[in-house]
Amino acid sequence: MSDADLKLYLDQWHQDLDGRMVSFAGYSMPVQYEGVMAEHIWTRENAGLFDVSHMGQLIFSSDDSSIDIGVELEKLLPANIIKLGVNRLRYSMLLAEGGGILDDLMVTRREHDFYMVVNGAVKHEDMAYIRENLNDAITLNYMEDHSLLALQGPKAGYVMKQLIPTTDDLFFMQAGSYDWNGVKLWISRSGYTGEDGFEISVHNDDVHKLADALIQYEEVKPIGLGARDSLRLEAGLPLYGHDLTSETMPFSANLAFAVPKRRREEAGFIGDVHILKQFADGPETLRVGIAVEGRQPVREGAIIVDDNDKQIGIITSGGFAPTLQRPIAMGYVPMALSQEGTDIIIQQRGKNIAAKVTAMPFVPNGYRRPPKAA
């Protein structure tokens, strides 16, 4: 931990719960409380409470009624924003001119504005880049006075419903404004664990009260960054700065779904020329899931080699999957080797480890999706 690290509003709260604090994204953050394995399994079976207040919460608004913020955001993001309904959220990316991914994010259309959550480690760069490329008639607000909590797990819905009964109406990727005993909360049914759950934006003055209220439920335990990482890896979700970088383009990152058909046809977003070319040509490498044989985890930076020990790919995330009790990884392989079931060789500290390309998520999602229309 460095002295320069910012403190979360719940800093003392985490320490009182025996959170082990580490430096992450410029903040002092809890990496674990009772242990990564126990916290991971608790989240998969019950509900975990995460403090992710290091993430950047942004609001896009405009006083000019002739400005369509959705249209303007489509110049920045490759997502289908103009068709996004009110109180609906979507995964998207901030792209460089050359098509590389500068960050990945969630964007929500609200009644009068747009709400965006970006990664903590790059939020200031994001804001500068967005401001530089955004219509001046749109105001960009950084919600520094708000914290962000995530409640994740199969029992998250039950707990949230006890706290605020009307949240039961939310399905995956829906959001809304809620009143909790006079405290205003912005709640999204979303998360980064593959489980059902919520992300709750709350004013710093109220975050302590909310965290206390949530932790009162016997279904809820505080969960640190360690388990957050192993949970998202099992869910097959990429981590910016590791699985995605400014060198990665969306199709290679296996995020084609985030550049929908209309946007491919119409283009008109930063990086479009390069991204559409990659779509037409097909990417050279693809982010895939990897099942590692044996028990030894492979880590970020381990290389994927061919039969002659020549590097052909790289591991971008890897670890031990507590749910599966075996090592799993994510990495980039040549397209020809990206088919499920393909045998690959990983080299780590001079040792060859057998592995197989496999489908993601590694653990089935538990999202609460809306019932299918009859």
| Residue range at the interface with other proteins (CB under 8 A); choices 37-45, 109-117, 120-128, 266-274 | 37-45
Burial string for 38-67 (b: 16+ CB within 10 Å, else e) reads: ebbbbbbebbbbbbbbbbbbbbbebeeeee
* Per CB under 8 A, 9 contacts other proteins: no
Q: How far apart are CA 126 and CA 114, in angstroms?
A: 16
CB of residue 230 to other proteins, shortest distance in Å? 6
Q: How far apart are CA 133 and CA 283, in angstroms?
A: 27
Among residues 297, 313, 331, 366, the one that binds other proteins under rule CB under 8 A: 297
C-alpha closest to that of 250 among 215, 228, 277, 217:
277
* Per CB under 8 A, 241 contacts other proteins: no
Amino acid at 234: E
* Per CB under 8 A, 196 contacts other proteins: no
Q: Give one DSSP letter per residue of 272-284, joined into a string.
A: HHHHHHHHHH--S
Among residues 57, 167, 230, 323, the one that binds other proteins under rule CB under 8 A: 230
* Per CB under 8 A, 235 contacts other proteins: no
| Residue range at the interface with other proteins (CB under 8 A); choices 3-11, 36-44, 165-173, 304-312 | 36-44
* Per CB under 8 A, 226 contacts other proteins: yes
Among residues 40, 54, 232, 368, the one that binds other proteins under rule CB under 8 A: 40
User: 323 or 338, CB closer to other proteins?
Assistant: 323
Helix 225-234 / helix 36-45 crossing angle, nearest 10 deg:
60
* Per CB under 8 A, 229 contacts other proteins: yes
Q: How far apart are CA 216 and CA 43, in angstroms?
A: 16
Question: In this structure, what DSSP letter does residue 122 have?
Answer: G
User: 38 or 337, CB closer to other proteins?
Assistant: 38
Name the site residues for other proteins (rule: CB under 8 A).
Answer: 32, 35-38, 40, 226, 229-230, 295-297, 299, 319-320, 322, 327, 349
